[in-house]
Structure formats: C-alpha cells, structure tokens
Amino acid sequence: MEIRELQSSMARLYVERDRARGRDATFRWLTEEVGELAKAMRTGDRANLEHEFGDVLAWLASLANLEGIDLETAVARYAATCPRCSDAPCDCPFP
Amino acid sequence: MEIRELQSSMARLYVERDRARGRDATFRWLTEEVGELAKAMRTGDRANLEHEFGDVLAWLASLANLEGIDLETAVARYAATCPRCSDAPCDCPFP
C-alpha cells in the first residue's frame, strides 16, 4: 500500500471525526498510541505489537490530514540516501 | 512510495546503527521526534511541520525494523473500512 493511499483511506474513514475532535486531542490520541506501543514492546505479544505499530501509523496519518501535510512527501527524503550525509548506508558520525 | 518500500529504505540506510543503538534508545528517539512534531504544530512553520511528520514516520519505520514488524501489514486493517465498526466512513460511537 502506498503511504498516500493509507492517508487517503484515513481521511475517508475518519476526517470528519478528526475535525470534530480537533488537532490537540488528535495529537494527544497519537501519544496515547505511542504509549501503547511502548507497553506492547515490553509484553512480547507479537500480534499486539503489530497492532500498536499500525495504530501509531494510522493516528499519525489522521493528524497529518488535519494539518494538511502529505506524509509521502514529508518522508520522501529518506527514500534513497541519508538526507544528512547523502550516503547509503548512512555514514554520519555515530552515536 | 509504498509503506514497505520506505521501511526497506530505512533498513538499508540505518539498520546497523539502529541495532547498535538498541530498541530502547530508538524508542526514545521516536518520542523525541514526536515532541518536535508537537513544537512544529505550535510554531506554524509549514516546511518544519512537514519535516517533523517525515521524521516521526521514519523513526517509526526504524523501530519497526528493530522489532521485526512489517508496518504495511500492521496498518492494512485501515485500508478500506473502520476495523471496529466495518463502515466507511466510520460510524463508531463518538466521541
């Protein structure tokens, strides 16, 4: 699935609710999902871990819809080489 | 760009560094990016806002690589209808 396709689907399913909830409450919900991801990383339930990764990405797409940001454009600089050092793999100073 | 393609690119560019950093530090970095997204939502700089959305998605993909989760599979349940009520648009009780 394309990133843009996911974001469009999230808009079709949820944008009216997202608008009614508002950007701050939607951001708060995103962080709630990040917390659930943290918990899933601790418990070791693979199905739950997959579920929570999906929820974080879905809520990030909902928030991007509210903010008018195209996620696929936003992340395009990671598509080929490191946006900082321009190498692949990244050769930036580490850590 | 496909979600899977982004995740593969993140692995190609960063997985050795991600492994060296470890899952906890990578999770911490994800939350740092979520914080930067919060700040970008406040300041109103559109280019910076787009940048931070991209960073959150990129770090989520890095963390998924470390955890062995395929993000595209994880989010597939949002591709057509609401995974809770099975309607499109979602017709779950609100709020």
Q: What is the pLDDT of residue A42?
A: 97
Could you report the per-residue pLDDT of A2-48, keeping only the tens digit for each?
A: 999 999 999 999 999 999 999 999 999 999 999 999 999 999 899 99
Instruction: Render pLDDT for A56-84 as a digit per residue (tens, 0 to 9).
Output: 999 999 999 999 999 999 999 999 999 99
- A8–chain B nearest CA distance, Å: 9
pLDDT, residue A20, reads: 97
Q: Residues of chain B whose pLDDT is less than 50?
A: none
Facing A12 at nearest CB: one of B34, B49, B89: B89
- Give the gap in angstroms from C-alpha A42 to the nearest C-alpha of chain B: 10
Q: Which of A3, A34, A67 sits opposite B41 (nearest CB)?
A: A67
pLDDT score, position B25: 98
- In chain A, what percentage of residues exceed pLDDT 70? 100
Q: Judge whether B57 is closer than 8 Å to chain A, CB to CB.
A: yes
Helix axes B46-67 and B23-43, enclosed angle (nearest 10): 160
Averaged pLDDT of chain A: 97
d(CA A4, CA A21): 22
Supply the pLDDT for residue A44. Answer: 87
pLDDT value of residue A25: 98
Distances (CA, A) of A1 to A21, A44, A72, B15, B72: 27, 27, 12, 22, 7
- B17–chain A Cβ distance below 8 A for any pair: yes
Residues 25-44 of A with CB under 8 A from B: 27, 30-31, 34, 37-38, 41
Q: Does ipTM top 0.85?
A: yes
Looking at residue B76, what DSSP letter applies?
Answer: G
A78 contacts in B (CB within 8 Å)? Answer: 6, 9-10, 13, 54, 58, 61
Cβ separation of A94 and B12 shorter than 8 Å?
no
Q: What is the pLDDT of residue A95?
A: 78
Q: Looking at residue A62, what is its pLDDT?
A: 98
What does the pLDDT read at residue B44?
A: 87
Chain A residue numbers with beta carbons less than 8 Å from the beta carbon of B57 are 3, 57, 60, 71, 74-75
The reported pLDDT for the residue numbered B95 is: 78
What pLDDT shows up at residue A15? 97
Q: Is the dihedral of CA B60, B65, B66, B70 positive or negative?
A: positive
Other CB atoms within 10 Å distance of the CB of residue A9 = 19
